[in-house]
């Protein structure tokens, strides 16, 4: 997918780029990549059941936005959600344990890869129904203002999610509530070019996806989702604006996933190896690493130290998941139906 002229270019001042925060962000992105590689290995070994969708290639979109947020902000996303949880501060070992279906997992082993949930860190899921979470996020943003807080909600979704009815319902309500400053929400379109095996050109009548959001009176901006400086630059500005005004905003991040749609998407007949290879030249981790090398003197040894640290963290997470207990059988009935609804006892 070609980059368009409309996309913002790097907007972080080179001097600011050498702040230690940027090495921490590189650390976070490398950790997420190593984590995802490990999940693919563990899935093949049969340790992870159900579905598995990894985020490799899109890291700058999670890290660039999430590092601009404050405690108390809320985040919703779809099923490609491991990176968001880790960037928000969930412990990698508890995320891995969730994928293994273990009791120590962040959803007590009952959610799996697609249903991570960690309210303590502002993570409101993790949803498997494509686009279903957009309405929940719009409602959460309304509640934040209704309760008089200055928190904001961030709602990530894929290009494919824009074709479900709830996308239109959520956008309309956000646009409407936003008129009176009652919907502080940042929508992020993670436009990775495909919905499973269907390209944007084949699934959307309008390929300028932002235009579809503007139809609901919500301003939009495209950004190069592989360049974390660009993503974070836009995020800093619009997060502040949303917090101040209570009005919704949408960022369309142009990005690319390096792995298949899900763990079962092995042959990937809908795209060529050359296309994937071409995008690998714009690896968001490589872009940040090179930039920090050029501007701030980050060395290969520094990067190796980070990579070794990340590999160890992930190995420890896998070991923790492996050694954790299965949920108790009674857990099958806990947190599943509302307390006030019918219980097994009175059925």
Ligand X SMILES: Cc1ncc(C[n+]2csc(CCOP(=O)(O)OP(=O)(O)O)c2C)c(N)n1
Q: Are strands 194-195 and 198-199 parallel, antiparallel or unpaired?
A: antiparallel
Please identify the residue of the shown chain whose CB is closest to the bound Mg ion. 158
**One of 57, 112, 128, 233 touching ligand X (CB under 6 A):** 128
Q: Which residues ranging from 261 to 280 are in contact with ligand X (CB under 6 A)?
A: 261
Residue 194 near ligand X by CB under 6 A: yes
User: Which partner in ligand X, Mg ion, none is near 128 (CB below 5 to 8 A by kind)?
Assistant: ligand X
**One of 130, 231, 254, 285 touching ligand X (CB under 6 A):** 130
Closest approach, Cβ 243 to ligand X, in A, equals 27
Classify 172 in phi/psi space as left (phi over 0), alpha (psi -120 to 50) or beta. Answer: alpha
The window from 143-151, 189-197, 210-218, 277-285 that contacts ligand X (CB under 6 A) reads: 189-197
Closest approach, Cβ 302 to ligand X, in A, equals 32
**CA 86/CA 93 separation, integer angstroms:** 10
How many C-alpha atoms does 65 have within 13 Å on its Cβ side? 33
Pair 86, 28: CB distance under 8 Å: yes
| DSSP class of 327 | P
**One of 153, 192, 226, 259 touching ligand X (CB under 6 A):** 192
Name residue 185's beta-bridge partners: 153
Pair 322, 316: CB distance under 8 Å: no
Site string for ligand X, 145-174 (x = CB under 6 A): -------------xxxx--x----------
Closest approach, Cβ 201 to ligand X, in A, equals 13
**One of 42, 81, 118, 159 touching Mg ion (CB under 5 A):** 159
| DSSP class of 8 | B
Distances (CA, A) of 311 to 38, 53, 84, 241, 316: 9, 20, 19, 38, 9
Can you give the binding site for ligand X, defined by CB under 6 A?
A: 80, 128-130, 158-161, 164, 190, 192, 194-196, 261
Can you give the binding site for Mg ion, defined by CB under 5 A?
A: 158-159, 192, 195
């Amino acid at each position: 997918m070609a980059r368009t002229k409309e996309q913002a270019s790097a907007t972080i001042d080179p001097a600011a780029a050498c702040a230690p925060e940027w090495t921490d962000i590189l650390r976070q992105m490398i950790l997420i990549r190593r984590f995802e590689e490990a999940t693919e290995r563990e899935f093949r070994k049969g340790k992870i059941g159900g579905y598995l969708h990894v985020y490799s290639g899109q890291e700058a979109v999670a890290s660039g936005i999430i590092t601009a947020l404050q405690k108390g902000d809320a985040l919703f996303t779809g099923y490609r959600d491991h990176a968001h949880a880790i960037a928000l501060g969930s412990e990698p070992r508890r995320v891995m344990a969730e994928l293994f279906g273990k009791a120590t997992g962040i959803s007590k082993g009952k959610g799996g890869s697609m249903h991570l949930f960690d309210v303590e860190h502002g993570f409101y899921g993790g949803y498997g129904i494509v686009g279903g979470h957009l309405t929940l996020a719009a409602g959460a943003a309304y509640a934040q203002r209704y309760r008089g807080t200055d928190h904001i909600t961030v709602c990530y979704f894929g290009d494919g999610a824009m074709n479900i009815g709830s996308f239109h319902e959520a956008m309309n309500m956000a646009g409407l509530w936003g008129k009176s400053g009652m919907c502080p929400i940042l929508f992020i379109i993670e436009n990775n070019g495909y919905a499973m095996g269907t390209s944007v050109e084949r699934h959307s009548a309008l390929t300028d996806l932002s235009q579809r959001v503007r139809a609901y009176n919500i301003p939009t901006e495209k950004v190069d989702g592989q360049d974390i400086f660009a993503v974070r630059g836009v995020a800093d500005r619009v997060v502040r604006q949303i917090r101040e005004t209570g009005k919704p905003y949408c960022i369309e991040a142009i990005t690319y996933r390096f792995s298949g749609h899900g763990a079962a998407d092995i042959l990937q007949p809908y795209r060529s190896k050359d296309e994937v290879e071409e995008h690998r030249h714009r690896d968001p981790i490589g872009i940040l690493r090179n930039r920090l090398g050029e501007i701030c003197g980050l060395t290969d040894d520094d990067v190796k130290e980070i990579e070794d640290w990340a590999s160890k963290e992930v190995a420890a997470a896998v070991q923790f998941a492996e050694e954790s207990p299965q949920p108790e059988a009674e857990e099958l009935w806990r947190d599943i139906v509302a307390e006030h609804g019918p219980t097994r006892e009175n059925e």
